Amino acid sequence: MRFDVITLFPELFEPFLKVGVTRRAYETRLVDVRLWNPRDFAEGNYRRVDDRPFGGGPGMVMLPEPLERCLMAIRADRAEAEAAPLLLFSPIGPRLDHPAVAQWSAGPGAVLLCGRYEGVDQRFIDRYVTHQISLGDFVLSGGEVPAMALLDAVARLQPGVLGDEGSHQQDSFNPALDGLLDCPHYTRPEVWREAAVPAALMSGHHAQIQVWRRQQSLALTAQERPELLHQARAAGRLSPSDEAFLDGLAAKGQGPQP
């Protein structure tokens, strides 16, 4: 898959693409990331890419002309029969979640537009943008951080990127966990600052460990993200034993159990 990133700050992506486990995806072009600076498509001595907004107000707005020329160059380079989706990272878009990441990770890629300043001229958005995505109800200085978040989330779902093929299936929100939160994890030493690793994890009994992890996932989700539990229940993903455990927690008024 290929992602073309339109950004005024391509240098922000250079270290991101070269570190961590996901670098395998970028180095091998399993996730092919190409950076495009709209300033390269601006005209005049100053290569201007923004101007003051009509109607007054603070800040600057990204000009449509350089963005359009940049987008046309990308489309020509991709040489696709059908134009790739154009994603704008924006506060008005739906929040990025696991189902959306899974959908993008299974597709051919997209063009990612990283806005800056007060945003992008609405006429360009109306004409070319096909999707808008938000990381949450807060405002960032630009779309580069959300773009990196999407690229990282998509890359780690690609086969062969993570050391353990099934590791991402145990992540929070994954369908393999019925959309619940992952359970707590422990490593050496067995006792740290008088806190011991839970006995179930030291038992060597696989079935017991699996039960403990499921119950911890249920308890943690009930305590921290109850809406995810409601969604799993509505989808029929909770077993009778799950419900019995949750009923016991509710009766005791307790959270995650060691």
User: How far, in Å, are 69, 111, 234 from residue 77 at the CA level?
Assistant: 12, 12, 45
| Active-site annotation holds for 171 | yes
Report the run of H or E that residue 189 belongs to, with start and end: none
Active site residue: 171, 182, 198, 237, which one?
171
Active site residue: 65, 68, 118, 182, which one?
118
136, two tokens: 């949450």
| Active-site annotation holds for 175 | no
Active site residue: 51, 91, 226, 258, which one?
91
| Active-site annotation holds for 225 | no
Helical spans, DSSP H, in the chain:
13-16, 23-27, 64-78, 98-105, 122-128, 144-155, 199-202, 206-224, 226-234, 240-252
DSSP assignments along 114-172, one per residue: --BTT-B-HHHHHHH--EEEBSSSS--SBSHHHHHHHHHHHHTTSTTTSSSTTGGGGST
| Active-site annotation holds for 123 | no
- At residue 178, the 3 state secondary structure works out as coil
Active site residue: 156, 213, 214, 256, which one?
156
- At residue 257, the 3 state secondary structure works out as coil
- At residue 201, the 3 state secondary structure works out as helix
Residues 150, 101 contacting (CB under 8 angstroms): yes
R_g of the chain computed on alpha carbons: 23
Residues labelled as active-site residues: 91, 118, 156, 171
